[in-house]
Structure 1
Amino acid sequence: MKQLIKGLVLPAVLCLPACHHAPEAAPIAATPAALHAQSAEFKREILNPADGVYVAIGYGIANSILLVGDDGVIVVDTTETAESAREVLAAFRKITDKPVKAIVYTHSHPDHIGGAAVFAAGRDVPVYAQRELVANMQRTSIELQTAITRRSQRMYGMPLPADQVINVGIGPFVDMHADSTVDTLPPTRVFDEQLEDTVAGIHFRLVHAPGETGDQLFMWLPERHIVLSGDNFYRAFPNLYTIRGTSYRDPRAWADSIDKLRALHAEVLVPSHTRPLVGADRIEAALTDYRDAIRYVYDQTIRLINQGRTPDEIAATLRLPAHLASSPYLQTFYGNVPWSAREIYSGLLGWYDGDPASLQPLAPDDTARHMIALAGGIDALAKQITDAESRGEHQWVLQLSGYALRVVPDRDDVRKARIAALRALGAAESNPNARHWYQVSAGELAGEYKLPARVVKPTPAMLARMPLARFFDGMAVNLDPQASGDETLKVGFEFTDVPERYTYIVRQGASEVVPAITDDADIVVRVSAQTFKEMLAQLRNPALTIASDFTVVKGSKLGFVRFMRWFVPDAS
């Protein structure tokens, strides 16, 4: 799919206001065929829903939006990589050669900030964002980078052959691969609740609107009744929870943010995924259904919680009412109701489901052994799996095979049955996130894919802009407690290109970072901050970098190598 789309010739700029007034076709039930139809949302082109407003759609998962002013332009959202940003910028330059006077991030997700430096083109361009964006971005890109990367590859189907990816629900694909780079700029104009400004003659208001992220904003052009809604609205059921993993997304706050959008009575709505809407009545109807669906799921989940229902029970029974389930803007091509109900339960009450058996459960391996014994042994369980497979009970095969493979991981007939079940579930699934997770999991189990720890690389320039202290946070979450569990060691870091100094203390498997060189440091090393960052970001070989670029001021190089091996296994 990616190769075919990249090969397309960019069509002439298309002006579509009249098309957006056309009545909606009757929605198709959520099926793989309907998911194919959803691909029409992402035809690669530049849309022009209002004078001076251009939307690049189909270049990656997210839209990038161009606002043309008197003597310059504003770019809202910058795609996921520097490479996709260059393609979008080339398309925008066919519209105008006016300089970029400002960049706006609607929120911190990587697909909206990854190509910012490309649009700035080396100039000092102000970058607008809500204040929480930086902390959220750094948490994902440093502390949780490995887990989010692995889970995102499964959710977006990134290892799959192009012919197995229909679309990703709110975009055609994620344009990230082994050769991709990201080059994010830090925000320079941040705000808490609202910010009003005029750039290149464009008067706008940025409004904090928490929803899919806590740092979400929308951009309002009051004189023109145009709103850029970010990711709080798109043509799919909202991702109140994402299976790649996220902190709690408060549905009440999300619904309140939709109400803020409704109160504007906008005549043009430009989301950061899927196509713009034109017409106040159409926008009002779509937004009202959207907020009602969010509140319905939240309110009814709380009602069932108060009745004593468990997350599994709520997820199995909660459904949208028919008038909302039939909305073309609420088809489950991204989020879905059962996942949302589970998110609300865990977000408000935590992991405990109220069943006392869950308080101190057996370890998964122990549970598996008991289940195999209950079935009458591994051969009897394997027969149960085979029988379930012949009846087409794919979910039951998946659950039973999990027990068997925990205890007998090389049981080939069970492994093949599990692979077949995963592929059958994926083929029948209309939600791309679930579909891809099934398909990629099958490929992993079959030995077809090995997911890399990193898909895209930051540029050295981006690393230079990131705070040095955050890299020590990244070290802390990679500390091997077994290797370091019996020792206390204090290592000082001096940097040749910045005045910052740190002492990293490992105390029997626990970390502490002191922003100074302590007098009792066991080892002190000297290196440039840029080299240190590039090594930790895997742009440099750790062993070669430690050998050639670190100078030991106190202690031994061998002791420092041993210390770094606690964080970076290939440090020697």
Structure 2
Amino acid sequence: MMNPLVAAYISILAIVQLTACSDNNAGSMTDQNTDKDGHSAPTMATLKANSAVIEQLPFDNQQDFKDAQRGLIARLDSLVTYNAKGKRVWDMDDYQFMQYRGLNGDAPVSINPSLWRQANLNNIHGLFKVSDGIYQLRGFDLANMTLIEGDTGWIVVDPLTAKETSKVAFEFAQKHLGRKPITAILFTHSHIDHFGGALGLVTAAQVKQQGIRVIAPEGFMEEATSENIIAGTAMSRRSMYMYGKRLSRTERGHIGSGLGKGPAFGSFGILKPTEIVNHQTPVLNIDGVNIEFQFTPGSEAPAEFTFYLPDHNAFCGAEVVSRNMHNLYTLRGAKVRDALKWSGYIEQARTRFAAANIYFGSHHWPMWGQDNIQNFLKLQRDSYKYIHDQSVRLLNGGATPSEVAEEIVMPESLRTSFPNRGYYGTLKHNAKAVYQNYLGWYDANPANLDPLPNTESAGRYIEMMGGIEQVVAQAQISFDNADDDAGAYRWVAELLNKAVFFDPNHKAAKALLAKTYDQLGYQAESAPWRDVYLSAAYELRHGGPDKGIDIALMRDILLETPVERFFDTMSVRLNGPKAEGETYTIKVNFTDKDLSYVLYLENSVLYYATEKDWQLTEGKKTANSHTGLKNINATLNVKHELFIDMLIGKAGLKKTLFSDDLSIDGSKLDLLSFLSLFDRPTGDFNIVIP
């Protein structure tokens, strides 16, 4: 017998569906049923897929909603944050269309009910009391800011992503909790949503003058400043898809990111740690509060720690555990994370901090009760280890990455636990990450060793299938019959991707592919998957962005980044074919840092060395000496800050080079010729069309 909730859900959705159809064919939607951004109406196949979710999960369990609202002190009726230019960097008001009313959650047809539940939990925002002396600000940014009351002031844990959001959140807390100085800042890990807002609270000068303790895991500065430097342009563009940056906040658009609502696009900064946590760190007393750290490098972040407050019996899991399955591989692009190591850290925390009766994290809402916390940690631990072990079992049996992703199934005890659901990471792409971690990109099938690029293979496929009109017609048939074929939309997307890469101006192919991506997005339980599909649909209809994410927002972080990282990124921007046959030796002298580097180009490869190391190499006069080292073409004498402004485009290159703001020894023409060999990627490249 059908669950009454499911029956009611289907009845309501069927009425909605019928009003959206131009005829009795649920797969065919008229243009009049699109929203303002062109997103099409949900089909009957989507209705059925989403309604089936209701029977798969324990929606009658409302404990998460009780926990997420527990301890509320105050919330802002309107939570919108602006930068100095009056531009919005954070807007919780965008999500006011979302109203969760329990049980099946009356999710709109265009949203997976499980994701709808998670997104509504993440809507609950404000200042909360976790326990005596521990407070959280949630919903002011993607992550949480936690305040721990010390003897003389506040210990701030993870000061959010941007200066603007961090400042607003802390001011709101001060208003309700009383004004006290900041005595310490803890960065739990090296991802920007946990340190980027630091300068919204204090400056580097204040840290030094007031003796504020800044505590971070070992490797923090290296990881925080280097992540995204080498491949940052591509990661930023892909992040626009992963976080739905261009999508409207609507029932057919972005509703959240699973981990929170989404990242704040404000001004980012960083503070250098005054103290480092590693495996040898003892229990620290910070402003009268005892804190026991667990160093967890190479888990969710390359540099990370969790900690325990023994006087409060409270465990902060940072982002090693959270109220969703996390990413072993993140869709924006990053190094694969070690699932086995991650699981081990969770078990270590579970046993080491077994007395904890309060859990709070860098995302989501807290948990109370020792038994509840122990069970939560066991399920999180087992989730990552199961994915690891079963993926390896399957790959050892010869399964390819796609086959591993299709075959792996979580046991009921794990898959029915809401904190283990794939709202951020997913079982499928995490299983592929395990494969990648061990075996890389090649699946051992020779056909995949050196395949034709998509733009070339597309034409051959289309010709073989009788031309693009025939392909689109067959795709339409599959789309319309999706009610009876669970894999139809995935197949249509694969088919039409070939068509669009063959002819990116074919309106019918693009329109049907966009509709297909709509449906895949509406059915996705993962918020990043939803945003990726819907962003693809949006760009098929409206084109790519006019520009990428502005790197100037990272200026304060870049000022703290070792200059060697910039030379690394210059190396990967060198246009090899254009540089063929060219040799240059350029000296860069940072006049305010007493640092000098030599850049030398040969064989279309760029190298760098400190001037001291370069002189030692020159002095040896060995056969290994690099061509061109004897003669420096030009020396650029520049202050570090101006150098950064030149790299991020804040200071115009030619105008600056010939101004009094820097000096050049040697040939200015050679310097300009050298600099002309480097690409300047804008981060607005195409993704869904060639």
Same fold (TM over 0.5): yes
Q: Residue 73 of structure 1 corresponds to which residue in structure 2?
A: 154
Instruction: Decide which of 247, 251, 254 is 2:335's aligned counterpart.
Output: 247
Closer/same/farther in 2, CA of residues 451 and 131 from structure 1, 3 Å limit: farther
1:263-278 aligned at under 5 Å gives the runs: 263=351, 264-265=353-354, 266-278=356-368
Structure 1 counterpart of 2:112, from 26, 32, 39: 32
Using the TM superposition, give the Cα deviation of residue 448 of structure 1 relative to its aligned residue in structure 2, in angstroms.
Answer: 4.9
Structure 1 pair 5–484 and aligned structure 2 pair: CA distance change class (3 A): farther
Paired AA for residue 475 in structure 2: I
Q: Distance in 2 between matches of 1:311 and 1:380?
A: 31
1:178-226 per-residue CA deviation (whole Å, 9 max, x = no partner) reads xx21011122312332423111101112211242113121011123221
User: Are residues 300 and 451 of structure 1, via their aligned partners in 2, closer, same or farther at CA, if it must alter by over 3 Å?
Assistant: farther
Distance 1:451 1:157 in 2: 16
Q: 2:284 aligns with which of 186, 189, 197?
A: 197
Give the 3-state SS of the residue equivalent to 1:418 in structure 2. Answer: helix
Instruction: Give the deviation of 1:487 after TM superposition.
Output: 1.0
Post-superposition Cα deviations, 1:145-173, rounded to whole Å, max 9, x if no partner, equal 21221111111111111222211112122
Code of the aligned partner of 1:6: L
Cα displacement string for residues 326-348 of structure 1 (whole angstroms, at most 9, x for unaligned residues) = 11211221111111110000011
Give the equivalent residue in structure 2 for 1:413.
508
CA contact (8 A) 2:225 2:558 kept: no
Give me the whole-angstrom Cα distance separating, in 1, the residues matched to 2:401 and 2:559: 44
For 1:127 and 1:514, the matched residues in 2 are separated by 31
Q: Residue 568 of structure 2: SS of its match in structure 1?
A: helix
Q: Which moved more, 1:454-463 or 1:313-322?
A: 454-463
User: 2:655 is matched with which residue?
Assistant: 544
State the match for 1:22 in structure 2.
none
CA distance in 1, matches of 2:491, 2:654: 47
Aligned residue number for residue 120 of structure 1: 202
RMSD over aligned Cα, in angstroms?
A: 2.4
Greater mean alpha carbon deviation, residues 78-87 or residues 158-167: 158-167
What is the count of residue pairs matched by the alignment? Answer: 549
Q: Report the CA distance shift for 1:419/1:5 in structure 2 as closer, same or farther (over 3 A).
A: farther
Cα distance change on mapping 1:374 and 1:491 into 2, 3 Å: same
Cα distance in 2, alignment partners of residues 144 and 103 from structure 1: 29
Which of 282, 285, 303 does residue 372 from structure 2 map onto? 282
Secondary structure at the counterpart of residue 207 of structure 1: strand
Letter in 1 for 2:529: A
Counterpart residue number, 2:168: 87
CA–CA distance in 1 between the matches of 2:408 and 2:232? 33
Q: Of 68, 75, 79, which aligns to 1:6?
A: 79
Match of 1:505 among 600, 611, 636: 600
- Any conservation in 2 of the 1:236–1:332 contact (CA below 8 Å)? yes
Q: Where in structure 1 are there 5+ consecutive unaligned residues?
A: 9-24
Write the deviation string for residues 83-112 of structure 1: whole angstroms up to 9, x where unpaired.
Answer: 111111112212132211111111111101
Which one-letter code corresponds to 1:468 in the other structure? Answer: V
CA contact under 8 A between 1:140 and 1:148: conserved in structure 2? no
CA distance in 1: counterparts of 2:664 and 2:678, whole angstroms: 18
Q: Please say which structure displays the higher CA radius of gyration.
A: 2
**Distance change (3 Å), C-alpha of 1:458 and 1:467:** farther
1: CA distance between counterparts of 2:468 and 2:544?
Answer: 28
Q: How much does 1:269 deviate?
A: 0.9
Structure 1 residue 246 displacement after superposition: 1.6
Give how far 1:539 is off.
2.8
Output the amino acid matched with 1:167. G
Which of residues 207, 232, 236 in structure 1 aligns to 2:324? 236
Q: Contact 1:181–1:456 at 8 Å: present in 2 too?
A: no
Instruction: Pick one of 307, 316, 321 that aligns with 1:219.
Output: 307
Cα contact 2:190–2:302 (8 A) shared by 1: no
The residue number in structure 2 matching 1:256 is 344
Q: Secondary structure at the match of 1:376?
A: coil
Change in Cα spacing, 1:412 to 1:217, as seen in structure 2 (3 Å) is same
Deviation digits for residues 37-83 of structure 1 (CA, Å, limit 9, x no counterpart): 22223412111111110111001110011111101221111111111
Contact 2:598 2:609 in 1 (8 A): yes
User: What letter corresponds to residue 324 of structure 1 in structure 2?
Assistant: L
Amino acid aligned to 1:469? E
Counterpart position of 1:553: 665
Pick one of 471, 485, 490 that aligns with 1:395. Answer: 490
1:454, distance to aligned residue in structure 2 (A): 2.2
Q: Which runs of 5+ in 2 are unaligned?
A: 1-75, 82-101, 483-487, 615-628, 683-690
Task: Give the letter aligned to residue 41 of structure 1.
Answer: N
Partner Cα separation in structure 2 for residue 245 and residue 435 of structure 1: 17
Confirm or deny that 1:337 pairs with 2:446: no
Distance 1:42 1:194 in 2: 39
Residue type at the aligned position of 2:113 = A
1:5-49 per-position Cα deviation (integer Å, ceiling 9, x unaligned):
5259xxxxxxxxxxxxxxxx9898996233222222341211111
Equivalents in 1 of 2:379, 2:345: separation in Å? Answer: 14
Task: For residue 292 of structure 2, give the secondary structure of its aligned residue in structure 1.
Answer: strand
2:268–2:555 contact (8 Å) kept in structure 1:
no
Question: Does 1:206 find its partner at 2:280?
Answer: no
Distance 1:26 1:402 in 2: 38
CA displacement 1:479-525 (0-9 Å, x = unmatched): 12232123111111122212111111122321100211755211222
Structure 1: distance between partners of 2:377 and 2:606: 47
AA in 1 matched with 2:136:
V
TM-fit CA distance, 1:569: 4.5
Looking at structure 2, the residues matched to 396 and 466 of structure 1 have their Cα atoms a distance apart, in angstroms, of 45
Residue 166 of structure 1: aligned partner? 255
Q: CA deviation at 1:432?
A: 0.7
1:152 and 2:244 matched: no
Structure 2 counterpart SS, 1:182: coil
**Could you tell me whether the CA contact under 8 Å between 2:294 and 2:349 is conserved in 1?**
no
Structure 1 Cα separation of the partners of residues 273 and 648 of structure 2: 21
- Identity across aligned pairs (percent)? 27
Cα offset, 1:367, TM superposition: 2.2
Cα distance in 1 for residues equivalent to 2:78 and 2:527: 19
Deviation at 1:360, TM superposition (A): 2.3
Distance 2:586 2:549 in 1: 28
2:456 partner SS: helix
Q: Report how far residue 117 of structure 1 moved.
A: 1.9
In structure 1, the residue matched to 2:576 is 481
Asked if 1:134 is matched to 2:221, the reply is yes
- Listed one character per residue, the Cα deviations across residues 424-477 of structure 1 (whole Å, up to 9, x for unaligned) are 211222211000011111222222550633246346554433322222122122
Q: Distance in 2 between matches of 1:377 and 1:107?
A: 52
Match of 1:19 in 2: none
Q: Is the deviation greater in 243-252 or in 355-364?
A: 355-364
Which whole-Å deviations, capped at 9, do the CAs of 1:341-369 have from their partners, x for residues lacking one? 10000011111112122222223333223
Equivalent residue letter for 2:334: T
Per the alignment, residue 297 of structure 1 pairs with 387
For 1:566 and 1:172, the matched residues in 2 are separated by 41
| Equivalent in the alignment of 1:15 | none
Separation in structure 1 between the aligned mates of residue 368 and residue 280 of structure 2, nearest angstrom:
25
Equivalent AA in structure 2 for residue 530 of structure 1: E
